[in-house]
Amino acid sequence: MSIVFQTVVEATLASFYIFVICIIAKVKTSENAFFTQFMATGIADVISLFANILLRLNRELALGQEYQQVVSKLAAASSMSFVAHMLGNMFITVNRFTAICFMHKHAKIWSQKNVWIVIGTQYVASFAACSYLL
């Protein structure tokens, strides 16, 4: 597969993903805990996509030592976004579990304040887990 074709496909997929996140953000259901967590995890996915696109381009174009710092930061961003994605999926699963098993307490458990605490935890933990790469 040619490098240009693969880059175009990856950029198109990333753009479509951003478009979907923007649509969800504009709809009123985005105030729902599930959709807020979905958008937060989607942001991690987009960061991962762009970091991996640039890492692949670095390898394909055989860029030299002068890009070592950039590649190092991209690898760290890719790792952090992977951990944030995994934590986000775990929190979304817990959200769905509480919606089914604790349906009368679900709204109280997943108040807007608690959702933002979970999202903050998701990103702080991913940064802490991968900070040694920086």
| Widest Cα–Cα separation across the chain | 58
Distance between CA atoms of residues 14 and 12, nearest Å: 5
Where is pLDDT greater, at 25 or 115? Answer: 115
Q: Report the length, in residues, of the chain.
A: 134
30 has pLDDT over 80? no
Contact (Cβ atoms closer than 8 angstroms) between residue 55 and residue 75: yes
Bigger pLDDT: 34 vs 84: 84
Region for residue 113 given its phi and psi (left: phi exceeds 0; alpha: psi -120 to 50; beta: otherwise): alpha
Mean pLDDT computed over every residue of the chain: 89
Q: What is the pLDDT of residues 62-110, one digit of tens each?
A: 877 888 888 889 999 999 999 999 999 999 999 999 999 999 999 899 9
Confidence of residue 58 (pLDDT cuts 50, 70, 90): confident
Measured CA to CA, the distance from residue 83 to residue 58 in angstroms comes to 23
Higher-scoring residue by pLDDT: 24, 89: 89
Rounded to an integer, what distance in angstroms lies between the CA atom of residue 45 and that of residue 20?
A: 12
Q: What is the mean pLDDT of residues 14-40?
A: 84
Band of residue 27 on the pLDDT scale cut at 50, 70, 90: confident
The answer, yes or no, to whether residue 2 has pLDDT greater than 70, is yes
